[in-house]
Amino acid sequence: MTAPENTGRRFHAYTIRHLEELLQRAPLTEDQRLRTRAVASVLPFRTNAYVVDELIDWERPFEDPMFRLVFPTEDMLPAEDIDHIAGLLKADAPKQEVTAAANVIRFKLNPHPAGQLQLNVPKEGEESIPGLQHKYRETVLFFPQQGQTCHAYCTYCFRWAQFVGIADLKMANNDVEQLTGYVRDHPEVSSVLLTGGDPMIMGEPVLRRYIEPLLEMDHVESVRIGSKALAYWPQRFVSDPDAEDTLRLFERVVDSGRNLAFMAHFSHQKELESDIVREAVRRIRSTGAVIRTQAPLIRTINDDADQWAGMWRTQHKLGMIPYYMFIERDTGPQDYFSVPLWRAWEIYRDAFSQVSGLCRTVRGPSMSATPGKVAVDGVVEIGEEKVFSLRMLQARNPGIVGRPFYAKFDENAVWIDDLKPAFADKFPFE
């Protein structure tokens, strides 16, 4: 087999220290560069040579969704906040002073949406188990400590607070026995999802320590890995030193009679184009693993029905299964990235209507909110009233899954908290 062009390149992360140099490629004035640096002092920034060289169009960076996906831009935060940080940077203020000012802004951006830190962490006796979330009966989430970073960061990431160090590592755990022990003690759990960050940032020997014990438990039917590595570093499955071992590990999961579900995050068609991503997909599939795809709908990045239809078609053609379209969560630069709920539903429907039934495995647009996953099924008129038709795809309380309910139409609503119940005095989850 001939090796794709990018093989052999070793992973190396670019961080805020490299930002100045990377931005030399973009036609920015000095003041714009300073303001970009100011945004990057508040929101996380990390990228790598594959993303920079293969995904971004440096001729027209400001019109390029891939640029906005990884590079902070000054419109992502309120101008007065940027003025303040830019002023400090310009005056060469001490690092602690910049961090303190950045933290004030960060805490205005709802860093812990959906009560993640308090609500879903299970207890064993009196002790809560860090790095574990058990929200829906069947599925447990692991946050392995070594997997709490990514090959590049998305500017819209809902876990951004972790990457800037204000959500601390309460969310993570490297006690494999504690994590897997919880699953062993809970026979109702049929699916374990490794998440992060990106678990594929871990080398195979570490990944294996989290996965192998699960293969000894009869009630575990599937192991899922949530990852954006196919988009940001497909070398992980092709040319990295542990690529082969990783594929063999996936194979062992499949050979044990379980489903290895690789939950791939793709935000844009451009991420599906390179030879190496296609080769990586082929290799993962050759292990018997199933790749399902998901992404949030983001203003200025993929808020377009043809974009989604194109992604689903290409994914399907490459043997992947479209799974979720999410609505951007109520955190971080949500004001910049959010799409109104009525518009999100229109985009979903217009994209859905363009693709064959084989792509219509995708669900959404869905909000991962405190009570569960809420899908916007449509905007309808019932009697005299214009309403949103909603449905729980997942809920803490399984009894309310799948039942339609309604909210008053609101053209500005971008999240479940903006909605008021219709034909009832409360929502089913209240």
Ligand X SMILES: *Cc1c(COP(=O)(O)O)cnc(C)c1O
Q: Does 283 bind ligand SF4 (CB under 6 A)?
A: no
Which of ligand SF4, ligand X, none does residue 150 bind (CB under 5 to 8 Å by kind)? Answer: ligand SF4
Structure tokens at 160: 């951004």
Helix-strand-coil split of the chain, %, nearest 5: 40, 20, 40
Tell me the window of 119-127, 175-183, 190-198, 422-430 that interacts with ligand SF4 (CB under 6 A).
190-198
Residue 99 vs 222, nearer CB to ligand X: 222
Residue 268 vs 391, nearer CB to ligand SF4: 268
Task: State which of positions 346-385 bind ligand X (CB under 6 A).
Answer: 368, 373
| Beta-ladder partners of 374 | 367, 392
3-state secondary structure of 341: helix
3-state secondary structure of 225: strand
Q: Which of 76, 82, 86, 141 binds ligand X (CB under 6 A)?
A: 141
Least Å from the CB of residue 52 to ligand SF4 = 16
Q: Does 159 bind ligand SF4 (CB under 6 A)?
A: yes
Q: Does 150 bind ligand SF4 (CB under 6 A)?
A: yes
Q: Does 142 bind ligand X (CB under 6 A)?
A: no
Least Å from the CB of residue 373 to ligand X = 6
Which of ligand SF4, ligand X, none does residue 89 bind (CB under 5 to 8 Å by kind)? Answer: none
Residue 34 vs 220, nearer CB to ligand X: 220
Other CB atoms within 10 A of residue 5 CB: 11
Residue 187 vs 402, nearer CB to ligand X: 402
With both helix axes pointing from N to C terminus, report the angle between 79-90 and 95-107 in degrees, rounded to the nearest 10: 170
Which of 410, 232, 413 lies closest to 334 in space, CA to CA?
Answer: 413
Q: Which of 51, 154, 172, 276 binds ligand SF4 (CB under 6 A)?
A: 154
User: ω before 365 within 30° of 0 (cis)?
Assistant: yes
Number of helices (H), then strands (E), in the chain: 16, 15
Other CB atoms within 10 A of residue 47 CB: 23
What is the helix (H) or strand (E) element at residue 215, kind and residue range?
A: none
d(CA 45, CA 55): 16
Least Å from the CB of residue 338 to ligand X = 19
Let me know: does 278 contact 249? Beta carbons within 8 Å: no
Q: Which of 135, 228, 265, 391 binds ligand X (CB under 6 A)?
A: 135
Residue 280 vs 367, nearer CB to ligand X: 367
Q: Does 200 bind ligand SF4 (CB under 6 A)?
A: no
Let me know: does 238 contact 9? Beta carbons within 8 Å: no
Q: Which of 45, 50, 71, 136 binds ligand X (CB under 6 A)?
A: 136
Q: Does 265 bind ligand SF4 (CB under 6 A)?
A: yes
What residues contact 383, with CB distance under 8 A and at least 6 apart?
A: none
- Which residues contact ligand X (rule: CB under 6 A)? 133, 135-136, 139, 141, 368, 373, 393-394
- Which residues contact ligand SF4 (rule: CB under 6 A)? 150, 153-154, 157, 159, 196-198, 228, 265
